[in-house]
Amino acid sequence: MARIIITLSTPLFFFLFSLLSHQTVSQPEHLTTFCNPSDNFTQTSSYEANRDLLLSSLRVRSSLGTYSNATAGRTPNTVHGMFLCRGDITATSCSDCVQTATIEIASNCSLNRAAVIYYDECMVRYSSVAFFSVLEVRPSIVLYSLRSAPNLNTFNETLADKFNQLILNVSSSSLVPYFVEDQERVTQEEGSYEFESMVQCSPGLDRLNCTVCLRFALLRVSTCCGLPSSALIFTPKCLLRYRTSALSSPPPLSPSPPPPLSFPPAPPSPALFFPPPALSQPPPPLVFTRPQDVPSLCGTFSFNVIKGNEIFGRIAITMTALVFALVNL
């Protein structure tokens, strides 16, 4: 069971294209594609040729590292593009993800001057506007489990403590640029669980904006959807992810886990997080919906798309047999 929340860039700017996903576990999972419908180019134009050149250049570079940016063509037909892979995946997975994403973005947004595509393991993007060192938080996507986190009484604090530390650490990370991960066994009276977490920024950002981006992502994940057992947020410039798996629970009476989201969503706790810093626009209000059914464990996943403006309405799609890396089975 997982859900997806999407925040669109500006009203009307990005068009949510597709939520369909691959069915095979080994393939990268497509989350969503945003095509900018308000700015098109014409077929067989220089822009199209440059866009295709740019995407193939990103494909070639995808075997060389987790991030690359590129620029193709001359003004006024210059195209800027990049890919970013999650820092915790293999080079082969990164390359596979970028190969797939670069093909799909051109096919799904064939005549759009700007587009972003998110997979669970990578993102690819192109635009006529240079964006490499610009801080942007939209369009973003949140994918989260419908199962609630373990040790609910304290999970909000555990989450905040962990990510505040990771965000502090990420700008001093020297291994992969702006990538830090952590794994901890949390042992409390309520029970113990494994807590995996990671944060990552696009290397184009400076340290301050990396921190700003991640604080936005943390605030969003902490307040969007109750306290899910797993969540991933992808924004154009940073991503944040955690996963929990319970190891034991105190009363060993109930063999089955409690129904997910049977608790009231935790209220936002502004004191806990730095306020989202002077971003040009505040995040739009969220529509929150709850699942009607107790999720089954055998592979039916429902996705809700929740986004921040009223233009597109609420879309709810139920699909079977999708396996997301974030789903706790």
Which residues ranging from 31 to 60 are in contact with ligand NAG (CB under 6 A)? Answer: 37-38, 40
Please state, in angstroms and rounded to a whole number, the distance separating the CA atoms of residues 228 and 156: 10
Cβ contact 160:222 at 8 Å: yes
The nearest distance, CB 163 to ligand NAG, in angstroms, is: 8
Nearer to ligand NAG, 160 or 315 (CB): 160
Residue 247, H or E segment: strand 238-248
The site map against ligand NAG for 254-273 (x = CB under 6 A) is ------------x--x--x-
Residue 161, H or E segment: helix 152-170
Contact with ligand NAG (CB under 6 A) among 139, 204, 260, 308: 204
Nearer to ligand NAG, 108 or 328 (CB): 108
Diameter of the chain by CA atoms?
A: 68
Edge-first strand listing for the sheet containing 15-18: 15-18, 30-35, 115-119, 122-127, 79-85, 67-72
9, 10, 21: which is closest to 116 by C-alpha?
Answer: 9
The nearest distance, CB 29 to ligand NAG, in angstroms, is: 13
Nearer to ligand NAG, 66 or 209 (CB): 209
Nearer to ligand NAG, 156 or 309 (CB): 156
Which residues ranging from 91 to 110 are in contact with ligand NAG (CB under 6 A)? Answer: 103-104, 107-108
| DSSP 8-state code for residue 126 | E
| DSSP 8-state code for residue 225 | S
Please state, in angstroms and rounded to a whole number, the distance separating the CA atoms of residues 272 and 283: 18
Output the DSSP codes for 274-298.
PPPPS-SSPPPPPP----SSPPPSS
The site map against ligand NAG for 270-309 (x = CB under 6 A) is --x-------------------------------------
Please state, in angstroms and rounded to a whole number, the distance separating the CA atoms of residues 189 and 245: 16
The nearest distance, CB 254 to ligand NAG, in angstroms, is: 22
Contact with ligand NAG (CB under 6 A) among 25, 60, 208, 317: 208
Check residue 19 for interaction with ligand NAG (CB under 6 A): no
Residue 99: count of CB within 10 angstroms of its CB: 19
Check residue 21 for interaction with ligand NAG (CB under 6 A): no
């068009």: which residue's tokens? Answer: 15
The two structure tokens encoding residue 62: 């995808």
User: Taking CB positions, which residue lies at the least distance from ligand NAG?
Assistant: 269
Contact with ligand NAG (CB under 6 A) among 166, 198, 225, 231: 166
Check residue 71 for interaction with ligand NAG (CB under 6 A): yes
Residues that bind ligand NAG (CB under 6 A): 18, 37-38, 40, 69-71, 103-104, 107-108, 111, 132-135, 156-157, 160, 165-166, 169, 180, 182, 204, 206, 208-209, 266, 269, 272
